[in-house]
Amino acid sequence: MQKWLIIVCFIFSILSCEKDISFAPDATTAKLVVDAQIENNLAPTVVLTTSMGYFATLDSAMLYNSFVHNAICSISDGTKTQLLKEFKIPLKTGNLYYYSQDPSTTNANFNGILGKKYILTIQYNNQTYTATTTIPLLTKTIDSIWWEPLKNYPDSPKVSLMTRVTDPPGLGNYIRYFTKQNKGQYLPGFNSVFDDQIIDGKTYSVQIDRGVDRNLPFDRANYGYFLKGDTATVKLCNITKETYDFWRTWEFAFSSIGNPFSAPGKVIGNINNDALGSFCGYAAQYKTLIIPK
């Protein structure tokens, strides 16, 4: 009995030592956020915004006001340099802005080329930011795509999209994939980047999960599937290690939001001068399949 009294007294002594601790997070200066890419046969696109406070209450007005205007953006391949122009996309609730090549200039044809290195330079708010990326060669390719009915549910309108991929010998082949359903936009998979640690030099078959719009609630019941009657397009991109690291850490951070048991992680970008984000090069291959009804 005396032993239990000692234990109870010890617990109460610990509880009596607890106290509430309140703290206010330090105010931070907004940082430049860069979402830039260049793909083979396509013009470069650069979206510039400013970061927001961690505890800020987000709304559409704040998001639209975060776009950076009148920055001086240029891209170079080491031989020629293209000054980028700011463009506006009107929406019902506001405007989206991005920088790309100006079709009215004499040096307008600055589409990405396989195997080339590119340097992005941004001048904004008396600061200069730079980043470098490469569009790799198309070494890892899609051999074929097909569809299969769901196992144990052959009459379901949902189907699995399958692909056969060949990985070249030698480690260091990184990919990111997107899918398009009918006339929608290309969306990355929930986990969209992969390395070749396990499948180096092999030809393998794997299910391609339909891409997700991360601005919408996650639809777990229908995740990954296409529907009978869909036109499905797969965009498989060879990427560099830097692009792989950025999206790998970004997707881990995104999936950890709201999870109190997840480990903290840092998103690894390639923009200098303490800016956030990344400049990514994509060597893209496309495959389209019409799934019968």
Query: Residues 1, 7: contact at Cβ < 8 Å?
Result: no
Considering the domain boundaries, does residue 49 fall inside one?
yes
Q: pLDDT tens digit string along 75-127?
A: 999 999 999 999 999 988 889 999 999 888 766 678 999 999 999 999 999 99
Considering the domain boundaries, does residue 96 fall inside one?
yes
**H or E segment to which residue 159 belongs:** strand 158-166
Distance CA 54, CA 59 (A): 13
pLDDT of res. 99: 97
Domain of 240 in residue numbering reads as 141-268
CATH number of the domain within which 40 lies: 2.60.40
85 and 186 part of one domain:
no
170 and 231 part of one domain:
yes
108 and 92 part of one domain:
yes
Query: Residues 167, 261: contact at Cβ < 8 Å?
Result: no
225 and 159 part of one domain:
yes
230 and 121 part of one domain:
no
Q: Which segments of the chain does DSSP mark as H helices, in order?
A: 2-16, 60-65, 241-255
Mean pLDDT for the stretch of residues 31-40: 97
79 and 129 part of one domain:
yes
Domains held by the chain: number: 2
Considering the domain boundaries, does residue 254 fall inside one?
yes
157 and 239 part of one domain:
yes
pTM attached to this predicted model: 0.86
118 and 207 part of one domain:
no
Tokens at 253, concatenated: 């951070």
pLDDT at 251 over 90: yes
Considering the domain boundaries, does residue 238 fall inside one?
yes
Total residue count of the chain as it appears in this document: 293
